[in-house]
Structure 1
Amino acid sequence: MARRRTLRPEEEELWRSVARTARPLHENPIFHKPEPAMAAVPLAQAKPRLNTFTLGEKARRAEQHDLAPSLPSLLAAAPLQMDAKMHGKMTRGKLAPEARIDLHGMTLAEAHPELIHFILNVQSAGLRLVLVITGKGKRRDDLGPIPQRMGALRHQVPQWLRQPPLGQAVLQISEAHLKHGGSGAYYVYLRRR
């Protein structure tokens, strides 16, 4: 059974004002409640139950955590092994590379021996700053749930340069300045022999 609830005083006043404007269907009202004489008391301003808010105001702005940070941020976070002044000139594109190798169009299996051969020959010739051009990579269709990175060579070359036999020859790896290829190339600063 449904329970009846009593009306609060402000609800009862609202009901009376609506009932005064209504026209009865029947001559004899079925229910008639005598109105008690009430003194005119101003209703207190109803206090809102909830404070005003905007959506998401208390939510903390969480940093987005990328499981694999971008390549430029990894290279920038690497400790500086070379002279800071020389590194600044190099990253601003003020130093011209003394030699370059272009790995465009090569597979990983073709590019790795070429890179090893090039770096070791250039170091034995006494050169210090070389440019390794990898290209930015092609955009492929992303068909799976795991995102695909663009540019296999672009991501693999810095790892090759840190591993043997190139690890002892390389002093610093940095992304090239825009006039030397930008994110599609790397400056490789070699150790003296």
Structure 2
Amino acid sequence: MSAALTARSFADLQPLRRALQEAAAQEAERARLRREAERRARAERHLFRDAVGPVAPLKGLPDRHWPAPVPPEPQPLQRALDEKRVLRESLSDAFDVSTLLDVDDQLSFRRPGMGQDVTRRLRSGQWSIQRQLDLHGLRVDEAREALGIFIRLAHRTGLRCVRVVHGKGLGSPGKAPVLKGRVQGWLVQKKEVLAFVQARPADGGAGALVVLLAPN
């Protein structure tokens, strides 16, 4: 398996968030500069008229048709909005995922319309794991935000198969996994996720999920 990008703490995601914020700020500055350039262009077009006053066309000359001004290039406003949405993304903890899971020897999930062969191939390791997110040590709110950012960036960069390590809960009070059920519910709410299965023992077993993402 190729080297995997592992986010082991909430602090590891801060550069990603700063990068998104800087991108949004740069886009806003470019938009301001474009508006200023358009304002100057309009002023220059009216400079002659303001300097000489009203004019009348010369008689006997054919009419001239000036080409329409070239419209400005479309701006990626939706992408800027998406970046801001990522920073405030919140996945519901009240989502009931139990009715959507396939109950077999290992719980799994697949979108409606996806065949059972998808989870079977995912479980057998036919998709190579390309990136990993480790949620160990994170509070619930930190894990929720980290997972949302990780899945969105993985999908945007064209990754298809990732692993999410939520832990087995051995260090939690009562030895019960705190994040396992929440991570399943959060993943089901992400439109980028097509399916997930419990990882094979060599890949984390009951403490991790292997996730298949939709093509970008």
SS of aligned partner of 1:101: strand
- CA–CA distance in structure 2, aligned partners of residues 141 and 87 of structure 1: 32
Structure with bigger helix share is: 2
- Residue in structure 2 matched with residue 110 of structure 1 by the alignment: 142
CA contact (8 A) 1:175 1:183 kept: yes
- Residue in structure 1 matched with residue 130 of structure 2 by the alignment: 98
Residue 172 in 1 paired to residue 202 in 2? Answer: no
- Residue in structure 1 matched with residue 180 of structure 2 by the alignment: 154
Choose 1 or 2 for highest CA Rg: 1
Which of the numbers 173, 195, 207 marks the counterpart of 1:184?
Answer: 207
- CA–CA distance in structure 1, aligned partners of residues 114 and 200 of structure 2: 17
- CA–CA distance in structure 2, aligned partners of residues 112 and 157 of structure 1: 8
- CA–CA distance in structure 2, aligned partners of residues 95 and 153 of structure 1: 24
| Equivalent residue pairs, number | 116
With over 3 angstroms needed to count, the CA separation of the structure-2 counterparts of 1:89 and 1:78, relative to structure 1, is closer
SS of aligned partner of 2:184: helix
SS of aligned partner of 2:167: coil
Residue 133 in 1 paired to residue 159 in 2? Answer: no
Residue 154 of structure 1 aligns to which amino acid in structure 2?
K
Per the TM alignment, residue 162 of structure 1 is displaced from its structure 2 partner at its CA by 1.6
Residue 73 of structure 1 aligns to which amino acid in structure 2?
V
Q: TM-score, normalised by structure 1?
A: 0.52
Per the TM alignment, residue 86 of structure 1 is displaced from its structure 2 partner at its CA by 4.7
Q: TM-score, normalised by structure 2?
A: 0.47
With over 3 angstroms needed to count, the CA separation of the structure-2 counterparts of 1:179 and 1:103, relative to structure 1, is same
- Residue in structure 2 matched with residue 29 of structure 1 by the alignment: none
Residue 101 of structure 1 aligns to which amino acid in structure 2?
L
Identity of aligned residues (%): 30
Q: Considering only aligned residues, what root-mean-square deviation do their CA atoms show, in Å?
A: 2.8
CA contact (8 A) 2:110 2:194 kept: no
With over 3 angstroms needed to count, the CA separation of the structure-2 counterparts of 1:87 and 1:73, relative to structure 1, is closer
With over 3 angstroms needed to count, the CA separation of the structure-2 counterparts of 1:90 and 1:141, relative to structure 1, is closer
SS of aligned partner of 2:176: coil
Per the TM alignment, residue 76 of structure 1 is displaced from its structure 2 partner at its CA by 3.9
Highest relative contact order (Cα 8 Å, sep 6+), 1 or 2?
A: 2
